[in-house]
Structure 1
Amino acid sequence: MSSFLQNTTFFLLLINSLYLPFQTQATFDKTIEHEEAKELGLTFLKEKLSHFMVYWHDVVGGPSPTSITVVNPPNKSPNGFGNMNMIDNPLTLAPKLSSKLVGKAQGFYAFASQDQVGLLMAMNFAFMEGKYNGSSITILGRNIVSSKVREMPIIGGSGLFRFARGYVQARTHTWNHKNGDAIIQYHCYVMHY
């Protein structure tokens, strides 16, 4: 009798183990149907392209910097290789820092090139004005500072920019050689729903 119980138990465990991967896969992912998407606040609208322009203020000098060095490597290179700055930079409608604030650029940039001033930019443009208030786009890319126009990809977003993709073009408006402060014009082209 115990042999029968052992065989039955073994058989049931074997059947269960064969069924388990299908159970796990079924709970791991699923296709969201139209009605369920509505409940989640997602709609199946046509994708649209939005364009906006902001000024990015990188204030590294003075009593209230918006960009601070968080990594300063021991081996100094002429182009800053290895330095990393954390940012909470204002985004304004016009070049003056006192102009209308529409958001913040939050993230970091790291000096990632040994041959030129080449930055790795990773930042969110967190908007706090108008219909995009509370929404953000995420930018991640290469920024060769000496280039007249630098293009970086938009890799995602939140709020009204869910499922966003696109690119930004950065152009230096002004750069203060003495204290390092910079004002950069950003044109943002965003595909979103």
Structure 2
Amino acid sequence: MKNTKKMLPLVVLVIVMAVLVVLLAVLQRGDDTTDVTLPLCSFAVEDIDRLAYAGNNQDVTLVKNSSGDWMLESDPTLPLDQTKTASLIESYANLTAQRKLEGSDLTDLPEKSATPQMTIAIGAGEESVSLTVDQLNSVADVYYVYDDTGAAYTVKRSDLAALSKSARDLYKAQTLTDKTLD
């Protein structure tokens, strides 16, 4: 009987440790989940030939010319930094939502505003995707984004923050040279 009383705390400790090991395994297994974000653009980056975005004091339309270089639709002769522009196109193509709002989530949404934060149009040949970035939910730090079918999504504010580049941000660096007048 004396041995049993001495062993009881050890048995309880072993049981508690076993439960903790199982809980740790379950929690780690939950961390191995795959990316659950939803792509908002189904086009491959190399297939995109047109990008237009407006909002945040920007109104930029980029088009790919026949040689595969990006140019401003409003001034095709202006040289753009192709690396910066390609990176921007890739950012738009890889834009993802945290989740699609459905059911009761839709009834809790604020009404669409008359002046959205930003509009985005991505084109690949004859196909296109239109996105409207509407109101900010500052508590969750997400914007409500609507696609051209009217489906609503939540997108992190940080994911949209760097996407509104001015045309000037995309210019290729210019070198000025001295010229003499005759």
Same fold (TM over 0.5): no
| TM-score scaled by length of structure 2 | 0.34
> Comparing both chains, which one has the higher relative contact order based on Cα–Cα distances under 8 Å and sequence gaps of 6 or more?
2
**Who wins on radius of gyration, i.e. which is larger?**
2
| TM-score scaled by length of structure 1 | 0.33
Instruction: Select the structure that is richer in strand.
Output: 1
